[in-house]
């Protein structure tokens, strides 16, 4: 894509509050077709809210959004406020996958995938089934097409959820921590599916705690902090900036981290920094309280999970 062409998605001055809680403050973002943008940041920093604003599952209080042929002005009373018909069309071209896969339990895998193409894209049943079977083949689950979701592992259900979103032929895919609820041994199959979609040129925005994945697969990383977008840049740059700032010298020279407020403790993904090379994730440490020494909670090797 040339630098002169318009981005696929353009957001300006986006604001979203819940009551007194100002979750998103003047967020701006351009995403070009084919880009993979990872959003990292502590729990509560607004990652999910931001993704939900993009397909207007949450209505922002103000802001401007351009996506494909849509141009929305979210200010109250604005003439370009989205209509319900526009929202229906918008949501048909933005696919979203959540942490909880939300498959319809009373439908087979195949029925889950053909449902929206039949109802929303108004495909003929034969074509919807052909496309769904091709997608299930694509995510490695063709053999499971006549099973009910409860018979599948979490990783398989999540891959079905991805196939179901892809069945709408979206121009943009949003992934909200899609591996967070999975057992560790199932994370890799979902991440490698997402990496292959990225390789095929799918435009993707994903909130993730998988830093190795963010670093290795994304074209850019956004860091949300204190409810503003604190950084936006190439993976190495954003991760490195965050490194120096958060725990200078805390666990030794080779170490710096990324914070996640999970399990009521702060988790730092810890990188080693050798001779200016890109940081490599070497472990996850927990700081039980601010001044206590860190406790290793798990270790990963470089590239693990990607
Ligand atoms: N529907 C809601 N009503 C009220 N507060 C909400 C709602 N959704 C999210 N929040 C609050 O907004 C903040 C950002 O939440 P969220 O976007 O889920 O963050 P993240 O995905 O980064 O963990 C949190 O403080 C959360 O409690
Ligand atoms: Mg979230």
Three-state secondary structure readout of 158-179: HHHHHHHHHCCCCCEEEEECCC
DSSP 185: H
Where is average pLDDT lowest: 23-27, 61-65, 140-144, 219-223?
219-223
Q: Are the C-beta atoms of residues 257 and 271 closer than 8 Å to each other?
A: yes
pLDDT tens per residue across span 135-165 = 999 999 999 999 999 999 999 999 999 999 9
* Ligand 2: centre distance to CA 225 (Å): 13
63 lines ligand 1 (CB under 6 A): no
Highest mean pLDDT among 171-180, 217-226, 255-264, 297-306: 171-180
Q: How confident is the model at residue 238 (pLDDT cuts 50, 70, 90)?
A: low
Of the two residues 233 and 134, the one the predictor is more confident about is: 134
Q: Are the C-beta atoms of residues 242 and 24 closer than 8 Å to each other?
A: no
Counting atoms of ligand 1 from 1, which one is nearest the CA of 227? 14
**pLDDT for 245 beyond 70:** no
Whole-model pTM: value is: 0.80
Cα distance between residue 193 and residue 44, in whole Å: 27
């Amino acid at each position: 894509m040339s630098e002169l062409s318009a981005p696929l998605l353009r957001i300006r001055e986006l604001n979203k509050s819940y009551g007194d809680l100002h979750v998103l403050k003047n967020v701006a973002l351009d995403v070009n077709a084919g880009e993979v943008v990872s959003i990292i940041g502590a729990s509560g920093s607004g990652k999910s809210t931001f993704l939900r604003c993009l397909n207007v599952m949450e209505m922002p209080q103000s802001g401007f959004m351009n996506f494909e042929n849509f141009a929305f002005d979210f200010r109250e009373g604005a003439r370009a406020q989205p209509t319900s018909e526009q929202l229906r069309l918008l949501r048909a071209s933005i696919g979203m996958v959540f942490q909880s896969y939300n498959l319809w339990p009373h439908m087979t895998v195949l029925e889950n995938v053909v449902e929206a193409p039949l109802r929303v894209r108004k495909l003929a049943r034969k074509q919807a089934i052909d496309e769904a079977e091709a997608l299930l083949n694509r995510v490695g689950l063709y053999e499971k097409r006549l099973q009910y979701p409860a018979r599948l592992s979490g990783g398989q259900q999540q891959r079905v959820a991805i196939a179901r979103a892809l069945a709408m032929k979206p121009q943009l895919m949003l992934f909200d921590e899609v591996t967070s609820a999975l057992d560790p041994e199932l994370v890799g199959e979902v991440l490698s599916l997402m990496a292959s979609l990225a390789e095929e040129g799918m435009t993707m925005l994903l909130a993730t705690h998988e830093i190795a994945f963010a670093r290795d697969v994304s074209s850019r990383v956004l860091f949300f902090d204190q409810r503003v977008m604190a950084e936006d840049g190439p993976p190495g740059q954003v991760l490195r900036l965050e490194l120096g700032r958060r725990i200078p010298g805390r666990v030794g020279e080779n170490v710096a981290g990324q914070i996640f407020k999970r399990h009521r403790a702060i988790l730092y993904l810890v990188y080693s920094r050798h001779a200016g090379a890109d940081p490599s994730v070497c472990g996850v440490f927990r700081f039980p309280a601010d001044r206590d020494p860190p406790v290793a909670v798990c270790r990963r090797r470089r590239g693990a999970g990607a």
